[in-house]
């Protein structure tokens, strides 16, 4: 069963409200993350539109490799720090994978909501925004050095809703980070 099939079965008969945080979708993102093969961290992303899970993605390299170390990822082999060195990484990020999986299947993510178990990097934020994602929720936070963080915050304000799970009040839209 594919992650999207699993997600659809998981969310069957559930009301998915895209205008507020849905803890079930974040739980699903954590489940999807277990499909990743990055040796450093498991990250999963779920995209919901019109109350339906339309795509999922987990981070890692092509499935013919057991993990990114075996595939020779320079960043993962050297133990790069969170938030830097992505230009050396050969892993696809979960957010990118969810967007590209939808594109491959001919599904638009325009107007969708993305759930990720880790705050997206700047490049993934750009991809999500340009793909038309309107709302983005994440679980685990981290931040860039102040000069880059300022750019990140500027881009995150372009989303209708952007927030960390701990900031989300049940039944209400979260504040902007």
pLDDT of 4: 52
Q: Which of 64, 95, 160, 167 is catalytic?
A: 95
What band does 71 get if pLDDT is binned at 50, 70 and 90?
Answer: confident
3-state secondary structure 40-72: CCCCEEEEEECCEEEEEEECECCCCCCCHHHHC
State yes or no: pLDDT of 171 exceeds 70.
Answer: no
pTM: predicted TM-score of the whole model, two decimal places: 0.81
Mean pLDDT value across the chain: 83
70 is catalytic: no
DSSP string, the chain: --HHHHHHHHHTT----TTS--HHHHHHHHHHHTT---SS---EEEEEETTEEEEEEE-BS-TTSSSHHHHT-HHHHHTPPTTS-GGG--PBPHHHHHHHHHHHTT---TT-EEEEEEPPPHHHHHHHHHHT--EEEEEE-----HHHHHHHHHHHTTSSEEEEGGGPPTTSPPPP-
Mean pLDDT, range 50-72, rounded to an integer: 87
- Comparing 175 with 76, the larger pLDDT belongs to 76
Query: What are 47's strand-pairing partners?
Result: 55, 114
128: CB partners within 8 A, 6+ apart: 95, 99, 114, 120, 136
pLDDT of 20: 63
């Amino acid at each position: 069963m594919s992650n999207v099939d699993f997600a659809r079965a998981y969310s069957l008969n559930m009301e998915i409200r895209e205008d507020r945080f849905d803890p079930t979708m974040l739980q699903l993102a954590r489940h999807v993350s277990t499909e990743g093969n990055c040796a450093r961290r498991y990250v999963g992303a779920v995209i919901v539109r019109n109350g339906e899970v339309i795509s999922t993605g987990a981070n890692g390299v092509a499935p013919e490799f057991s993990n990114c170390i075996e595939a020779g990822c320079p960043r993962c082999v050297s133990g790069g720090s969170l938030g830097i060195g992505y230009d050396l990484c050969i892993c696809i990020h979960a957010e990118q994978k969810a967007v590209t999986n939808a594109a491959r299947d001919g599904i638009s993510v325009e107007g969708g909501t993305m759930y990720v178990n880790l705050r997206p990097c700047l490049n993934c934020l750009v991809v999500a925004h340009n793909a038309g994602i309107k709302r983005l929720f994440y679980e685990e936070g981290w931040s860039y050095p102040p000069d880059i963080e300022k750019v990140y915050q500027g881009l995150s304000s372009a989303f209708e809703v952007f927030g960390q799970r701990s900031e989300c009040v049940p039944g209400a839209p979260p504040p902007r980070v």
